Amino acid sequence: MGRPVLRTELCDLLGIEYPVILAGMGPVAGGLTGPVATAPLVAAVSNAGGLGVIGGAGFSAERLREEIRRVRSLTDRPFGVDLLLPSNYMGAAAGEMPRDPRELIPAGTREALKKIVEDLGVPWQEMPREPAAEPRRPRTGGMSDEQMEVVIEEKVPVFASGLGSPAPWLDRLKANGTKVLSLVGNVKNAKRVAAAGVDIVVAQGTEAGGHTGRIATMALVPQVVDAVAPTPVVAAGGIADGRGIVAALALGAIGVWCGTAFLVSEEANQPDLQKQRILAATDEDTRVTRLYSGKTMRNITNPLIEAWEAAGIPALPMGLQGLLIQDLVYSCRKAGREDLLMNAAGQVSGMLNRIRPAADILHDMVAQAAHILARDLPARVTAVPES
């Protein structure tokens, strides 16, 4: 068989060969190894004809700049950067922050988590930290201002916002020719980012690994397509093979944004334990929890998530919950219980059973989709009704 051809408007918009985007995946396992989608994986996907996207959320601004340059040294093809732009970070505290922001963590929340962790046999230990020399001011635009400056200075081909809205940055991004994607989990937010002028809306269903909403991909994508037309839509959440690509196209999307499928690639930057847990997982082994970030996030479940959810403790705003979790990560590492750390992955984990090069994953997805579209589906149609 010849090389499969599968082209959509997305290929022309982004200058890529196949309508498949690697999700810009940030860190797992308490940042043990940094973001998952770093230069080797990003370049592998771009070189294979898709669009690789750096999971920039786990990088400092200067480290992000280095990673962008590393990608450029590994590929001359288009790539992207994904950042989280949450509107409620650290509870959006007004005025000065204490020198040790941990003072903002309510004692009740800390004590409740500590008890759950100790009941699981892990001694609670606070991570040793030097308080800041000066009281810190909360940043006006959120946690990502410095990273966004790097994205603009480096003139990256594609920018994706994973949480929140890129609206404040759009003029500067567009002046650079950067294409802007925005992830949403419901129609309301889709309309908001489309009205702001993003180039592509990524409609991400609840099946997805990582931060996720409540609406399933099958129901969400066509509603977003109708709500934001003529802005194009890419589908995400629960897509890991050619069948998923075809379904996404049938729902009106012009391409797919895939995370979990590439978590088990050779190039994915995450501890082997995390990959093995994904390979071992069934369709029922993920759970959405606010435990690790303060926002709803789908993970391979573990006894800590189950106990936290059963206790019904309200999570803190993103940032503050993250600070609390730093102590959890420290305690779990000291106790050798990395299995209790964040292991974001989607419901498609149940269909992944081996670790392979990212290029093979991508090419198999595309070949299967092309086969279904060209060979299997046309035979199902005997006559097309007049419309």
Ligand X SMILES: Cc1cc2nc3c(=O)[nH]c(=O)nc-3n(C[C@H](O)[C@H](O)[C@H](O)COP(=O)(O)O)c2cc1C
Binding residues vs ligand X (CB under 6 A): 23-26, 28, 36, 55, 57, 82, 84, 162, 183, 204, 207-210, 236-239, 257-261, 263, 344-346, 348
Q: How far is the CB of 183 from ligand X (least distance, A)?
A: 5
According to DSSP, the residues that pair with 158 across neighbouring strands are: 80, 179
Asked if omega into 230 is within 30° of 0 (cis), the reply is yes
Q: How far is the CB of 297 from ligand X (least distance, A)?
A: 8
**How far is 173 from 58, CA to CA, in rounded Å?**
21
Q: How far is the CB of 108 from ligand X (least distance, A)?
A: 29
Whichever of 84 and 170 has its CB closer to ligand X, that residue is 84
Q: How far is the CB of 159 from ligand X (least distance, A)?
A: 11
Q: How far is the CB of 27 from ligand X (least distance, A)?
A: 8
Residues of 2-15 as b/e, b for ≥16 C-beta within 10 angstroms? eebebebebbebbe
Q: What are phi and psi of 184, to 5 degrees?
A: -140, 160
**How far is 86 from 91, CA to CA, in rounded Å?**
10
Q: How far is the CB of 110 from ligand X (least distance, A)?
A: 25
Do 117 and 124 contact (CB within 8 A), yes or no? yes
Whichever of 114 and 277 has its CB closer to ligand X, that residue is 277
CA nearest to 18, candidates 39, 38, 4, 32: 4
Give residues with Cβ within 8 angstroms of 147, minimum separation 6: 56, 59, 60, 61, 64, 83
**How far is 352 from 365, CA to CA, in rounded Å?**
13
